[in-house]
A and B are shown apart, each in its own frame.
Chain A
Amino acid sequence: MKFENTATDTFFDTTAVLGKAHTRIDGPLKVSGQAPYAYERHDVVGGQLVGYPLGATIARGRIVSIDAEAARAAPGVTAIVTTLEIDPLGISSFNDVRLFGGDAIQHYHQAIAVVVADTLEHARHAANMIEVTYEEESGLFDMEEAWKGRDTSGDPDSETGNVDAGFADASVTLDATYRTPVQSHAMMEPHASVVDWSDGERMTVWTSNQMIAWNRKSLAQTFDIDPEKIRVESPYVGGGFGAKLFLRSDAVLAAIGSRAAGRPVKLALPRPFVFNNTTHRPATIQRIRLAAERDGRLTCIEHEGASHRTPHGSSEENPVSQTEVFYAAANRRVKHHELKLHLPESSSMRAPGEASGLMALEIAMDEMADKLGMDPVEFRILNDTQVDPQNPDIPFSDRHFVDCLRVGAETFGWCARNRSPGSTRDGMWLIGHGVAGAYRGAPTLKSGARVRLKKGRLIVETDMTDIGTGSYTIIAQTAAEMMGLTADTVDVRLGNSDFPVSSGSGGQFGAASSTAGVYAACLALRNKIAEELGSDDLRFEDGRVIAGNKAFPLADLFDGKEVCAEDSMDFGDSQKKFKIATFAAHFVEVGVHAATGTVRVRRMLAVCDAGRILNPVTARSQVIGGMTMALGAALSEELLVDTSRGYFVNHDLAGYEVPVHADVPQQDVIFLDTEDPEISPLKAKGVGELGICGVAAAIANAVHNATGIRIRDYPVTLDKLIGELPEI
């Protein structure tokens, strides 16, 4: 079915199951080790061998020779395939860089061989014995250089009004440049797959991936085989954050290894490969200019940004996009530069674009409020807009950003904060408070599902994934709501290419899209039941269907035989008629150690406007996860680039510091009670990426409030503060 018109009254306006707190259905399986992750699928096929990858140790050039003779003779080794032994594989439409095959090296740790052996230890040791000689080429690895050399002559991406004239006339202006470093998804479970391609014909892939249909298509394109011959399963994913949107070398190497060994092969990428072999969020440099009247009304917004990508593809990290529409101002201009560097492939990471864009824009807003002598909450409220400021004929579908700010300020006790930076102390700690706004688009993707009713139990099948987000739970709730069941009478089966194609998980489109697809399938089932009962006027309650004054237990319908229905939700052009997005306000309290400059976050509050919340438990978990990830982005996460060797140096979890429990303070999340009738019949939008947006800037702003020091270069580490801290 197609969602074309504004949702009016729907099933979901008065609900029994959906929208209610429900703990994760898959939670007990996960905490008791019974939810098998890709590398643990020991039972799906017998005779599994273990694969281990070898990565290139130059960033750019050509392989002259690979000597794997000694490795082939090493104990336990069944097969070794080097990249020189096979023709370059295809590059799928979702990848920029070749995953295997041929002699060209396009980035550090690009896979150049796979060893298959009886144990991990044997495979790893044999991989270490392979000798490779290279012909190295120089490359471009320095973001600062690329930024200096950017082409500023082209047209802006968008321009409204007259920015140059606006600045010339302005009373108060700001012109500042901000930097965000390369970040890694650093999810707990590395990329891993078990692949059975023993006969070189049919390929079965048990993997850890967010997008089953894309993955299958990529595999078909990469190996130039018929997609019908490929099955993909990914029922549990140990974190993805965008890193597992696309096919990566784990599945490719396991497939090649399996074909060579004639046995199924399992392969997990070693941790350093997660950083240099797979994808990352690229660094950005962003120059922001703002102009305002003395009363605080913004007159000009200009945002010029850049992120890097390989010379072979595109970058998702466009940090200027939200600036086109977030705040009002008559004159506005944005421009994004994609700078080409020979680093590993950059790609989507949680809230691509907005996450780093707001890290800059929301400091700029704080700086401007400062210049104007205004409260940063009031400054944002004053510059709110209910329409697309570039095209006032297009309204926001449902925007309550001002309420987020007001509710947040009230709950957080914002008015009691210290107004002059550097003046509140708690022992050795300087205390500061910060606020930031958040904006994240709410895209949707076509999503399908199949439902099967048998003896009163409902099975839902869709290739949707649960990457830790709660898909199992909200899908069960949606189906239960539609069929008058409880969530525990619904079995949800996900992540399998035999099931109808869904939106998958990414871009915070998963929850809104996949539940709409399940709704469509359930409607189809209800229609079948209506036909069976010969009545259009049905109510589904308590496991029964009520037609007029008769009630039939669902278990008794169709003589207890299974009945099946399938449909998908296609989304019309509402995203063109409206700006559909999610909003939040973040409030943060930090302590900065007066002597050392160590920053510790003391409390965090997020107030979110994301339409109907399908399940407050899983939604909250998404938001606090995002806040925690942003805390890392604010204070410690940075992949260091060796700008002559062209690789990320701190490629393990000791060197790339994500927050630990002790870093994470009290976190509160408030969801505004909103509904967006333009997004889907459920009026629900995603929250998984909203949670990371804006938070880092709130922390940087709080550091400024604590110390009076403005850091525009993330992460906000103590070495950047220590030179300006007060005498002890």
Chain B
Amino acid sequence: MRSFSYERATDPVTAAARAAEVPGAMFIAGGTNLLDLMKLEIETPFHLIDVNGTGLDSIQETDDGGLRIGALVSNTDLADHDRVRRDYPVLTRALVAGASGQLRNKATTGGNLLQRTRCPYFYDTALPCNKRSPGAGCAALSPSGHSRQLGVIGTSDACIAQNPSDMAVALRVLDATVETLTPEGDIRLIPLQDFHCLPGTTPDRETVLKDGELITSVHLPAPVGGRQAYHKVRDRASYAFALVSVALVRHPDGTGRVALGGVAPKPWRRPDADAALPEGAKAVMECLLEGARPTKENAFKLKLAERTLAAMLAEE
């Protein structure tokens, strides 16, 4: 861990301004991802701005019947919120399927959206990784590389890492929007679908956030209704990242929405795949996973995604 200085921000505007002003500054929220990365010197900030005291830790109802979730609301509190459990149950289920109780107590809404990939080569600084060191190459894609956990779609020749967040998959199926504050004091609203970038030739760039831009909240539109479910598939029963996860909203008439986790650099959803839902899992996945480029080790994810959705549809 490189030495760093530390300050506590007490309001969002100062936090964002300071982040742009101090060279090498980063925000820290729960620290559950950032601290691990700092110990490995994958992240090497010179200055940490602790945003836990910025007052962004409440959940408010919005005028349109939705929710505005403060960026510092913990994953535990969010999952436990009455309105969330009643009107957005897919979000509660996705949250409690992630990490462990202790981690969820610390992990925040904003930090969760920005957690880095779990590609094993990303974590070993001796290995080539374009995401960590642009231009170094991709160890996972080398002939002896392992890629069972990694992405099958939306990936590129530079990087096939998947986004590991469960929460983001539920937020995507709920059409959430991310609200941010720029260092200049401007507010931006970024639909979640546009928030994460595909790797292309710049896998080090993971979101559209600009330097110093602070996530202040996440907006959920008015409840979509329907039956909601989140099925996370993994090798062990808990405390593991998804091989594949499926977030589903389904209305009594058979229409609905589907988003996938564990398969792509961002939560994966397509409107035309949603439209195919009444025709069943196969039709949905033919569309949703069109153009997939799996490796030999992770090709099973395609079948797994389809069968998981099929089981969820059959279980209703």
Contacts and interface: CB of A to CB of B under 8 A. Distances in A.
B311 A596 contact: yes
B237 A662 contact: yes
Nearest to A121: B1
A75, A644, A654, most chain B CB atoms within 10 A: A654
Q: Choose among A596, A651, A662, A722 the residue with the greatest number of B CB atoms under 10 Å from its CB.
A: A596
Nearest to B235: A636
A60 B311 CA distance: 48
Contacts of A340: none
Nearest to A728: B310
| Interface of A (DSSP majority class) | loop
Interface string A118-133: 0001001100100000
A128 B40 CA distance: 9
B307 A728 contact: yes
B304 A718 contact: yes
A427 B304 CA distance: 19
A667 B211 CA distance: 53
B311 A598 contact: no
Contacts of B118: 654-655
Interface residues of B, number: 39
Interface string B1-24: 111000000000000000000000
Nearest to A631: B236
Contacts of A57: 126
Nearest to B301: A719
Nearest to B121: A649
B120 A649 contact: yes
A645 interface: yes
User: Which residue, of B39, B41, B144, B310, has the highest number of chain A Cβ atoms within 10 A?
Assistant: B144
Contacts, number: 101
B235 A596 contact: no
A728 B315 CA distance: 10
Contacts of B123: 652
A725 B233 CA distance: 16
B150 to A, nearest CB: 12
Interface string A28-59: 00000000000000000000000000000100
Nearest to B305: A596
B143 interface: yes
B82 interface: no
A663 interface: yes
B41 A722 contact: no
Nearest to B309: A595
Contact of A661 (B39, B145, B238, B243): B238
B142 interface: yes
Contacts of A661: 238
A644 B235 contact: no
Interface in A578-629: 593-598, 600
B63 to A, nearest CB: 41
A7 to B, nearest CB: 44
Contacts of B41: 125, 128
A596 B124 contact: no
A719 B307 contact: no
Given A596-B233, A654-B118, A722 B238 contact: no
Nearest to A427: B315
B144 A722 contact: no
A449 B241 CA distance: 49
Contacts of A650: 120, 146
A644 B146 contact: no
B236 A636 contact: yes
Contacts of A645: 127, 139, 144
B46 interface: no
Contacts of B308: 595-596
Interface string A193-205: 0000000000000
A90 interface: no
A644 B237 CA distance: 32
B46 to A, nearest CB: 13
A659 interface: yes
A238 interface: no
Contact of A644 (B39, B124, B142, B315): B142
A722 B39 contact: no
**Which of A595, A643, A719: most chain B CB closer than 10 A?**
A595
A225 interface: no
B236 A660 contact: yes
B236 A659 contact: yes
A598 B146 contact: no
B148 A719 contact: yes
A172 to B, nearest CB: 34
A660 B237 contact: yes
A314 interface: no
Interface string B92-125: 0000000000000000000000000010110110
Contacts of B307: 595-596, 722, 725, 728
A520 to B, nearest CB: 45
A428 B312 CA distance: 10
Given A121-B1, A649-B120, A719-B300, A635 B235 contact: yes
Contacts of B142: 644
Contact of A124 (B1, B241, B281): B1
A718 B310 CA distance: 16
Contacts of B281: 728
Contact of B238 (A595, A660, A728): A660
Interface string A698-728: 0000000000000000010111001101001
Contact of A718 (B121, B235, B240): B235
Nearest to A632: B236
Contacts of A725: 307
Contacts of A660: 236-240
Contacts of A75: 3
A57 B126 CA distance: 6
Interface in B285-315: 300, 303-304, 307-308, 310-311, 314-315
A272 interface: yes
A124 B311 CA distance: 48
Nearest to A428: B311
A640 interface: yes
A659 B1 CA distance: 30
A114 to B, nearest CB: 18
Contacts of B127: 645
Nearest to B142: A644
A649 B236 CA distance: 19
A596 B304 contact: yes
Contacts of A642: 139, 144-146
A225 B97 CA distance: 55
Interface string B225-264: 0000000011111111101000000000000000000000
Contacts of A643: 144
Nearest to B100: A660
A631 to B, nearest CB: 10
B311 A657 contact: no
Contact of B233 (A598, A652, A655): A598
Given A272-B124, A651-B124, A723-B303, 17 more contacts: A121-B1, A125-B1, A128-B41, A428-B315, A598-B234, A642-B139, A642-B145, A644-B143, A651-B120, A655-B118, A657-B235, A657-B236, A659-B236, A660-B238, A660-B239, A663-B237, A663-B238
25 contacts: A124-B1, A272-B124, A427-B315, A428-B311, A428-B314, A593-B311, A596-B307, A597-B304, A644-B143, A645-B127, A645-B139, A645-B144, A649-B121, A649-B124, A651-B124, A657-B235, A659-B236, A660-B240, A662-B236, A662-B239, A719-B300, A722-B304, A722-B307, A723-B303, A728-B281
Interface of B: 1-3, 39, 41, 118, 120-121, 123-124, 126-127, 139, 142-146, 148, 233-241, 243, 281, 300, 303-304, 307-308, 310-311, 314-315
Interface of A: 57, 75, 121, 124-125, 128, 272, 427-428, 593-598, 600, 635-636, 640, 642-645, 649-652, 654-655, 657, 659-663, 715, 717-719, 722-723, 725, 728
Closest 9 CB pairs of A and B: A595-B311, A57-B126, A662-B237, A644-B144, A719-B300, A662-B238, A595-B307, A728-B310, A636-B235
